[in-house]
Amino acid sequence: MGLSHGHAAKHSGGMTHPSSSAADPSPEVAIPTATAEPVPRGDFLLVTCQGGAEDAVATRMVKFLPGCTRGAWRRGALSFRLPAGSDPSSAALDALQANLVFARAVVRCFGQIHWKGDGLLEALRQRLPEGSFDAVHLFPRDVRAQTAADVAAGGREAARRAGLTGEFPTATFTAADPGDVVLDCLADSDDRWWVGWHRATTPASCWPGGFYPGPLPGDKVSRAWLKLDEAINFFGIPLQPGARAVELGASPGGACQRLLEAGLDVVGIDPALVDPVVAAEPRFIQWRMRAREVRLRDLRGFDWVVADMNIDPASTMEALRRVVTAPGARPEGIIATLKLPDWSRAGELDGWLAEFRGWGFLPRARQLSTGGREVCVFAVNRKGRRATPRRDR
């Protein structure tokens, strides 16, 4: 088949986050769609995830896309045949991915290519339909030895070695722009790839393979800084300078450090001392106690509640409940990490999200690419945001 490799003009505009029954809606923004989508579009979906999350993805797929049938299964990747007669739009796939929670990427799949010697590009040409691609994302299936930033940064060099930069001379091989049609190449082994496409809309769908490209700077005190940085960028969390935040389980202080950099006044609650770099910040105070030991009246006045504790998710939920339902507490939002002792606990996720709603919040959830066996929940107060003036110290 013939193939056009032209790259459309780069687009501007906001990103959209889909609404769903599992994760509540956020405002939608129109995405430019200059480049036509491939025809045929592909009868399968390829879903990538953290190794170990395959059962969690498959369980949620059956729930949110009835009639799909499971195809190939690898560590970190699953394929599903679409229900007969189904041709979901890019917006519908966005909503599906939001509901899957544990999916890093969801793409329409053309199938696998196999080759010998230097036959990769010919195999790719034979597999792809007519169409143009604005971006090309090449990423590995098994990333146990790499960070998210390593995967995102290494894609262009891997594409150059494979000859893709010459095959698609005007495409981008790093983060796509909203509206771009992206060719996805999942490297399953040295001589086998999965090939598909998607239209970039949400932040994660612009990142190669859904991996957050932001690095962990050397002056940050823990990886919690990077996880919160990804959450802020993925969810579009509107942290305002001068707002007040409290973190439950603050030590060693990576998340507090990120909040301070956003201009917030931060209280960290933890019996263990935070890193001296964080403790020295003038807008930081530590309460050296457990969250359950804090007096309820002291929990008033916080705009943001953050939690990333190495405890059972049920205990994290109880700690959050005590803070956000304390008399006089009116936080604007919650950013919480729920750590899963084992993958079987993923089945409790919808119940936890229902608890957030019961507290008066609209939750959205994602397993971050920079995190471990855990889920990040961002929840906003259902009564809407309140103006938070800068507080002078």
234 and 334: one domain?
yes
50 and 173: one domain?
yes
- For 80, the domain range is 44-210
C-alpha distances (whole Å) from 253 to each of 148, 155, 266 are 21, 31, 11
SS3 384: coil
* Strand residues in the chain grouped as ranges (E): 44-49, 69-74, 77-81, 103-114, 135-140, 181-189, 192-199, 244-248, 265-269, 284-287, 304-308, 333-339, 361-366, 374-381
Residue 157 lies in a domain: yes
* Span 187-244, pLDDT tens digits: 999 999 999 999 999 999 999 999 999 999 999 999 999 999 999 999 999 999 999 9
58 and 102: one domain?
yes
pLDDT for 33 equals 60
Q: Specify the CATH number for the domain of residue 373.
A: 3.40.50.150
Residue 14 lies in a domain: no
175 and 255: one domain?
no
- What count of other Cβ atoms lies within 10 Å of the Cβ of residue 346? 22
Residue 27 lies in a domain: no
pLDDT for 57 equals 98
191 and 258: one domain?
no
193 and 251: one domain?
no
Residue 5 lies in a domain: no
pLDDT for 146 equals 79
Total number of domains constituting the chain: 2
242 and 199: one domain?
no
pLDDT for 260 equals 98
pLDDT for 172 equals 96
232 and 185: one domain?
no
Give burial (CB, 10 Å; 0-12/13-18/19+) of 33. Answer: middle
pLDDT for 153 equals 84
From 188, 210, 232, the end of a domain falls on 210
pLDDT for 130 equals 81
Residue 29 lies in a domain: no
297 and 196: one domain?
no
pLDDT for 12 equals 31
E strand or H helix at 319, and its extent? helix 313-324
Q: Specify the CATH number for the domain of residue 195.
A: 3.30.2130.30
From 147, 175, 210, the end of a domain falls on 210
* Ranges in the chain, pLDDT < 50: 1-21, 25, 27, 385-393
Please give the Cα distance from 186 to 137 (Å, whole number). 8
189 and 137: one domain?
yes
302 and 178: one domain?
no
Quote the percentage of the chain above a pLDDT of 90. 82
250 touches 268 (CB < 8 A): yes
195 and 251: one domain?
no
Count of H-run helices and E-run strands, the chain:
11, 14
For 343, phi then psi, to 5°, come to -70, -20
Residue 165 lies in a domain: yes
- What count of other Cβ atoms lies within 10 Å of the Cβ of residue 113? 22
From 151, 177, 210, the end of a domain falls on 210
Residue 331 lies in a domain: yes
